[in-house]
Amino acid sequence: MNPHDTLALFDHQMRRHAQPDDAHATLHLDSGVLRQTSTRHGWNGILWSDLDHTTADAAIAAQISHYTALGHDFEWKLYAHDQPTDLAHRLLKAGATPEPTETLMVAQISDLPTTTPPPDGIHLHPVTHPADVDLMMEVHHQAFGTTATHIRHRLLTQLAEAPHTIAAVVAMAGPHPVSAARLDLHEGTHFASLWSGGTVPDWRGRGIYRALVAYRARIAAAHGYRYLQVDASDDSRPILSRLGFTALTTTTPHLFVVESL
């Protein structure tokens, strides 16, 4: 895998020509910026931009105006190679709050282990019903200490309206959910993406995360996808590197809260 070419393909397919991530969302190209507008509970934000030092400030102001009129908070998903080079500073000056930086990592699925079993005492439970989403949210709360209502909304919407675009799984220790993860299948692209991976503290370091990556890689391969993509935290990056993922760049969500603008 050539990292430069793969990043260019990612930018083209997953950003510049992205598709809406739920049935209630629309995409619009405005002032050199591709934005998604969804419901208040959906994901609202900026996927891609083509700006320079003469156009950036006006484009940022236009997006703030758009989402403020709707009363929607939004995210500007900034990548390290986005232009101009001081775009992060301009977003901060406009009122954004940066979230922790993550690493965009990609692997060719044919190079990944896909038969890694879960550790003894763990079975993998596919998420197919709203009650299964409750199990995922229980894991998320224990793993990260947040309720993540937006993730719950997205999962329920995908399962109900586009089940062919998602494969989620919960790792169970008897009746207890201890880890969970999601795979998004991006139709018309070469990429499937890994999301919402988390393990409750007492079960970390036992190989569950690796088993969930393998589980999702098998599904992506069966659907004909070439690459797996993940925005990796500092905790998951070393594991993914050992599995065969390559770091391509970094991405930092910049959040705009309408009430504070």
Does residue 70 have a pLDDT over 90? yes
CA dist., res. 86 & res. 93, Å (int) = 11
pLDDT tens digits, 155-193: 998 999 899 999 999 999 999 999 999 999 999 999 999
CA dist., res. 216 & res. 102, Å (int) = 20
Residues 210-232: what's their mean pLDDT?
Answer: 97
Residues 220-238: what's their mean pLDDT?
Answer: 95
pLDDT tens digits, 2-56: 999 999 999 999 999 999 988 889 999 988 999 999 988 889 999 999 999 999 9
CA dist., res. 235 & res. 156, Å (int) = 27
Least confident of 32-46, 77-91, 145-159, 190-204: 145-159
CA dist., res. 243 & res. 20, Å (int) = 30
Does residue 147 have a pLDDT over 90? no
Residues 124-131: what's their mean pLDDT?
Answer: 96
* pLDDT at site 40: 82
CA dist., res. 253 & res. 79, Å (int) = 9
Q: What is the DSSP string of 63-95?
A: HHHHHHHHT--EEEEEETT-SSTTHHHHHHHTT
* pLDDT at site 33: 97
Judge whether 35 and 64 are in contact, CB under 8 Å. Answer: no
pLDDT tens digits, 105-115: 999 999 999 99
Residues 200-217: what's their mean pLDDT?
Answer: 95
Mapped onto helix, strand or coil, the DSSP state of residue 163 is helix
Does residue 260 have a pLDDT over 80? no
Is pTM, for the whole model, over 0.75?
yes
Does residue 148 have a pLDDT over 90? no
* pLDDT at site 127: 96
Among residues of the chain, what percentage have pLDDT more than 90? 87
The β-bridge partners of 128 are: none
